[in-house]
């Protein structure tokens, strides 16, 4: 069979139109990067929501409450600062109930330090025995500060001491420094170091009949700071 002659020019396969100006393969890469970024953002948001729900459920079940410290009694039988030797002689005894109000959380008091301050200067410290405190339990601490120590007063501190010596009422601060662990079931937390401050403890020296007058209204609530 004879070949048919071609009518007109033979152009071959069609050529695709040129890409628009400014187009390159980077656009595809940017699109993939945005997809990955969006995916990670969604994952992070989902994790935050899950952790928030878990914390809410834990709080609803456990209902953790702050440990409560109160000063219920205080006896100051000596508080003399002499010059020029700058020796402070003191005798102070306290009764401090510690309440764990939690139903499911126990507390290990691994270390308990009590410090006594006057005009911002620490004049005595004592270490109390460690103990474990169960659920909804109250333990009574009885720190005692007795002895003498070198305490140098500035001019303002000396004026405050002399004024309080005349009035017979001294403003003393007690600070507890703790190392505690919390126990929930068989789980125990790592040691943390909360601070407990019992400020505005205004005491006068004991009278001749052995009683103590005070400007403080007991019980005095202390601040518990994690």
Query: pLDDT of the chain along its 226 residues, tens only?
Result: 555 555 555 555 565 566 555 555 555 566 676 787 787 888 888 888 878 766 665 554 556 899 999 999 999 999 999 988 999 999 999 999 999 999 999 999 999 999 999 999 999 999 999 999 999 999 999 999 999 999 999 999 999 999 999 999 999 999 999 999 999 989 999 999 999 999 989 999 875 444 555 567 789 999 999 8
Does 179 reside within a domain? yes
Per the structure, how many domains does the chain have? 1
Q: Are strands 220-221 and 68-71 parallel, antiparallel or unpaired?
A: antiparallel
* Residue 175, domain CATH: 2.60.40
Strand extents, DSSP E, 28-119: 68-71, 73-82, 87-100, 105-118
Residue 99 resides in a domain:
yes
Enclosing domain of residue 153: 68-225
Q: Is residue 25 part of a domain?
A: no
Spatial separation of the C-alpha atoms in residues 93 and 87, rounded to whole Å: 20
Give the integer Cα–Cα distance in Å for 176 and 127: 10
Q: Is residue 205 part of a domain?
A: yes
Name the residue with tokens 């009574």.
Answer: 140
Tell me the C-alpha distance between 15 and 18, whole Å.
Answer: 9
Please provide the DSSP assignment of 130-150 as one string.
PEEE-TTEEEEE--EEEEEEE
């Amino acid at each position: 069979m004879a070949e048919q002659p071609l009518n007109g020019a033979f152009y071959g396969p069609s050529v695709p139109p040129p890409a628009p100006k400014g187009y390159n393969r980077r656009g595809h890469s940017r699109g993939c990067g945005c997809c990955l970024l969006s995916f990670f953002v969604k994952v992070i948001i989902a994790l935050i929501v899950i952790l928030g729900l878990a914390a809410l459920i834990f709080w609803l079940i456990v209902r953790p409450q702050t440990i409560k410290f109160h000063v219920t009694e205080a006896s100051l039988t000596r508080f003399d600062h002499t010059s020029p030797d700058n020796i402070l002689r003191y005798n102070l005894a306290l009764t401090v109930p510690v309440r764990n109000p939690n139903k499911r959380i126990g507390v290990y008091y691994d270390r308990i330090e009590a410090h006594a301050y006057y005009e911002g200067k620490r004049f005595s410290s004592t270490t109390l025995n460690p103990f474990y405190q169960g659920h909804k339990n109250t333990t009574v601490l009885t720190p005692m500060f007795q002895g003498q120590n070198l305490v140098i007063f500035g001019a303002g501190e000396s004026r405050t001491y002399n004024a309080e010596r005349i009035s017979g009422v001294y403003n003393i601060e007690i600070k507890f420094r703790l190392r505690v662990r919390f126990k929930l079931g068989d789980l125990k937390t790592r040691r943390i170091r909360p601070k407990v401050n019992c400020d505005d403890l205004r005491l006068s020296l004991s009278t001749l009949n052995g009683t103590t007058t005070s400007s403080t209204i007991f019980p005095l609530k202390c601040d518990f700071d994690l």
